[in-house]
Amino acid sequence: MSAKKQPSEKAVARNRKASHDFFLLEKYEAGLVLKGSEIKSIRAGQVSLKEAYVRTDGREAWLMNAHIAPYDPASREGHNPIRERKLLLHKKEIDELWDETQRKGNTIVPLQIYLKEGRAKIEIAVAKGKKKWDKREDIAKRDAEREMARAMKQRG
């Protein structure tokens, strides 16, 4: 099941290195189980997916190492910034993710957190790690496209 972002959605945090470090195979949209102070921090944009990953045991999926900063006005009931957060997915989707992660070299990475109709959603993807030469090829392609765009701009 592929996740398409609607124009009414507001991206809060993106994992920019995901497409650089991994081949993204299949994308999913999931809900997040959050505390009240966490959603306020997300709305304020105080989220980092830099070191985050998704773990599944075949029955449930969890977002690990995502940093959601404590919300200062709610400091009395503060939350642990890097606690495990349960992902809300259909059983069939969790089964698909479990099957994919059992294959060698596949993992699940978070791509972005966004707000959709007032609720925090996360886009995750099944991914396969890139080797050094794959990353070099991507950089070379990007540079070649940039050069072609410059040449076309100068021509006309």
- DSSP states along the chain: ------TT-EEEEE-TTHHHHEEEEEEEEEEE---HHHHHHHHTT-EE-TT-EEEE-SS-EEEES-EE---GGGGGG---TT--EEEE--HHHHHHHHHHHHSTTEEEEEEEEEEETTEEEEEEEEEEEPPHHHHHHHHHHHHHHHHHHHHHHHH-
Residue boundaries of the structural domains of the chain: 10-130
Residue pLDDT, tens place only, 111-144: 999 999 989 999 999 999 888 777 788 888 888 9
Which pLDDT belongs to residue 111?
95
Which pLDDT belongs to residue 98?
94
pLDDT confidence tier of residue 59, bands split at 50, 70 and 90 = very high
Which pLDDT belongs to residue 75?
64
Residue pLDDT, tens place only, 1-53: 556 555 568 889 999 888 888 889 999 999 999 988 889 889 999 999 999 99
Q: Quote the CATH superfamily of domain 10-130.
A: Small protein B (2.40.280.10)
